[in-house]
């Protein structure tokens, strides 16, 4: 492990905005803030908003700067990624931000039923071959239902045509309420929309490559168990994701390959 990562991990231990609880600790004693985030951490009654797979925390911190009447919690398993957003929020003296280093699968160990008002899923791996790992698949959305308050909202922001198509199909098939849906966010939303002013590291890469950003928000409700949409297996895959990370991060390599 590099010295830079070790330094970041050490700094995370002293960052009051970061909570790191090993799975064994959760199993044995539970998470002390579950059901008590508002009273014991934020000291207010404002709505709680999660960003799942927050990475460097650009969205968590960006939304918190804009919406002072909400509390934002970024969740990611990678400590070296969380460090960026957590450090920025701490240095800015922000009091409506927190980060939890854990797996998304353990969400219910950290939040009580109805404790969360909104969930953001920003640029996740579309998991084109593994629906059970897809963060907008029925398995995960059922879990989100259990921690969301009545009327709670799920937001998806993605560069993936596959994931956007799948999620819109899943929402429609299950009769869930769609609040907003666009396959070209920056062409359809007003310039002063706050979600346009926050761009993650990877989002900017997609935009620089000429890809459009998709956005979907919906209310998952609390009705019948969710079912996978028929025809989902026939959705065209994202062809650009068949290339290696080198092609994704250096689009000129992709163009050179096409010219051969």
Note down pLDDT in tens along the chain; length 260 residues: 455 777 787 777 878 999 988 788 888 889 999 999 999 999 999 999 999 999 999 999 999 999 999 999 999 998 888 899 999 999 999 999 999 999 999 999 999 999 999 999 999 999 999 999 999 999 999 999 999 999 999 999 999 999 999 999 999 999 999 999 999 998 887 767 777 678 777 787 878 888 889 999 999 999 899 999 999 999 999 986 644 444 444 444 444 444 44
Helices (H), the chain: 3-13, 23-29, 58-66, 79-91, 107-110, 138-147, 161-173, 185-188, 201-208, 245-249, 251-259
Angstrom CA distances, 180 to 47, 156, 177, 189, stand at 20, 10, 9, 10
Specify the pLDDT at position 3.
58
Q: What pLDDT does 40 receive?
A: 97
Residue 191 confidence (pLDDT): 66
CA-to-CA distance for 56 and 119, rounded, in angstroms? 17
Quick one: pLDDT at residue 67?
94
Pairwise CA distance, residues 108 & 112, whole Å: 7
Q: What are the backbone angles phi and psi of residue 156, rounded to the nearest 5°?
A: -120, 130
Which of 40, 69, 76, 125 is flagged as catalytic? 125
> What integer pLDDT is reported at residue 26 of this predicted model?
86
| Residues 216, 180 contacting (CB under 8 angstroms) | yes
The yes-or-no answer on residue 192 being catalytic is no
Query: For residue 60, what are the contacts with CB-CB under 8 A and spacing of at least 6?
Result: 51, 54, 72, 73, 74, 85, 89, 97, 99
Do residues 59 and 120 touch, judged by C-beta distance below 8 A?
A: yes
CA 160 – CA 175 distance, rounded (Å): 23
Using CB atoms within 10 Å of the CB of residue 126, give its burial: 0 to 12 exposed, 13 to 18 middle, 19+ buried.
buried
β-strand partners of 155: 120, 217
CA-to-CA distance for 92 and 141, rounded, in angstroms?
33
Contact 174, 167 (CB under 8 A): no
The helices-and-strands tally (H runs, E runs) of the chain is 11, 8
* Whole-number pLDDT of residue 184: 92
- Start-to-end CA distance of the chain, whole Å, equals 38
Sheet holding 18-20, edge to edge: 18-20, 97-101, 71-76, 48-52, 116-122, 148-158, 214-219, 177-182
Whether 123 contacts 45, CB under 8 Å: no
């Amino acid at each position: 492990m590099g010295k830079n990562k070790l330094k970041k991990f050490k700094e995370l231990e002293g960052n009051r905005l970061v909570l790191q609880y090993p799975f064994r600790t959760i199993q044995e004693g539970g998470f002390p803030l579950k059901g008590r985030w508002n009273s014991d951490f934020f000291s207010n009654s404002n709505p709680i908003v999660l960003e799942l797979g927050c990475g460097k925390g650009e969205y968590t911190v960006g939304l918190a700067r804009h919406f002072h009447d909400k509390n934002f919690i970024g969740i990611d398993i990678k400590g070296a990624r969380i460090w960026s957003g957590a450090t920025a929020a701490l240095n800015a003296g922000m009091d409506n931000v927190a980060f939890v280093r854990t797996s998304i699968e353990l969400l219910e160990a950290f939040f009580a039923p109805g404790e969360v008002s909104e969930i953001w899923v920003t640029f996740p791996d579309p998991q084109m071959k593994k629906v059970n790992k897809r963060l907008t698949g029925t398995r995960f959305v059922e879990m989100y239902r259990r921690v969301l308050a009545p009327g709670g909202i799920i937001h998806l922001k993605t560069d993936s045509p596959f994931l956007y198509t799948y999620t819109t199909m899943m929402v429609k098939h299950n009769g869930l309420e769609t609040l907003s849906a666009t396959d070209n966010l920056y062409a359809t939303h007003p310039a002063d929309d706050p979600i346009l002013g926050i761009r993650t590291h990877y989002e900017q890469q997609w935009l620089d490559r000429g890809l459009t950003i998709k956005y979907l928000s919906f209310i998952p409700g609390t009705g019948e168990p969710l079912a996978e949409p028929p025809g989902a297996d026939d959705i065209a895959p994202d062809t650009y994701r068949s290339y290696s990370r080198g092609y994704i991060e250096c689009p000129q390599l992709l163009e050179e390959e096409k010219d051969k």
